Amino acid sequence: MTDLQLTSTAADGTAQAPGRGASTSGTASPRKHRPRQMGRRTLRHVVMILASIVMIYPLLWMVVSSLRPNDEIFRNPSLLPISLDFSNYERGWESLAQPFSHYLINSTLLVLGCVIGNLIACSLTAYAFARLKFWGRNIAFAVMLMTLMLPIHVVIVPQYIIFSQTGWVNTMLPLILPKFLATDAFFVFLMVQFIRGIPRELDEAARIDGCGHFRIFFQVILPLMLPALATTTIFTFMWMWNDFFGSLIYLTSPENFTVPLALKSFLDTQGSSDWGAMFAMSVVSLIPLFLVFLFGQRFLIKGFATTGIK
């Protein structure tokens, strides 16, 4: 499938080869080239639409299949007919030790704790890196950027030992506490970039008015960096809603399971029998992500692009 995409896009690129020349030097004979350009444009859309279908079809099919009787999931690869049989959802909701809402609540609590932690700790750290001059700042900044690339595995075993001694294993604390200590370097970096873009004159005006750094941070910088805070909130939400490795290690008893662990235990207990119910709960687990994507896309794309580029 991907091969197809590759070759067809490449072919489109070559077909276009004279295109740009034609469009800019085309003032001499604009009419002559128009049909060919139209053809290219149509071809490009055809390629894009095909690629879109390949990308989105599995998702649509899962949603449609979750509303079908179990045996049909293995017989009908098409999206039609659309049935509205919610029995998979009813069965899936109740088929684990706790109703599925229990896991949704657990995940919500985890995400909430992590979002609050990241917002507070990362913004404080970012302000220091972006605005304060203190001893060792550049080294600390480089070290922070390096932790961005550090595999979590190299710290997870001793972390587990520490948290098992404090009795926090099987609670959410090992997952939430690090966020209050600004361990998500990605967001610190994102916020540093953002604060650097805020004109220093604003700080200086506040300083002349007698503000200290804490007031400048809270009353000048923080209100101006709302877009960066929104991006952080959305990414933290997405990542922690999907968090699997950490949750798998720290949350051991079923009543503490988050949504990803609940889905995993579904797979363990149901084996490969009740796919309808599994699809239904999978769809439920994706709905919050989808909503965040729908309403927060602007921040997601901006956040990603700015940490990548600027």
- Please, what's the b/e burial string for 23-34 (b: 16 or more CB within 10 A of its CB; e: otherwise)? eeebeeeeeebe
CB of residue 228 to other proteins, shortest distance in Å:
15
CB of residue 109 to other proteins, shortest distance in Å:
18
Q: Is the peptide bond before 81 cis (omega within 30 degrees of 0)?
A: yes
Window 86 to 115, contacts with other proteins (CB under 8 A): none
Choices 86-94, 97-105, 147-155, 200-208; region in contact with other proteins by CB under 8 A: 147-155
Query: Nearest-CA neighbor of 215 among 201, 223, 229?
Result: 223
For 45, what's the count of Cα atoms within 13 Å in the CB-facing half-sphere?
5
Q: Which of 116, 173, 220, 300 binds other proteins (CB under 8 A)?
A: 300
211 touches other proteins (CB under 8 A): no
Cβ neighbours of 198 (radius 10 Å): 16
Task: Report yes or no: 258 and 106 within 8 Å, Cβ to Cβ.
Answer: yes
Query: Nearest-CA neighbor of 120 among 42, 187, 212, 199?
Result: 187
34 versus 45: smaller Cβ distance to other proteins: 45
Q: Which of 124, 173, 211, 222 binds other proteins (CB under 8 A)?
A: 124
291 touches other proteins (CB under 8 A): no
Window 170 to 209, contacts with other proteins (CB under 8 A): 177-178, 180-183, 186, 188-189
42 touches other proteins (CB under 8 A): no
19 versus 254: smaller Cβ distance to other proteins: 19
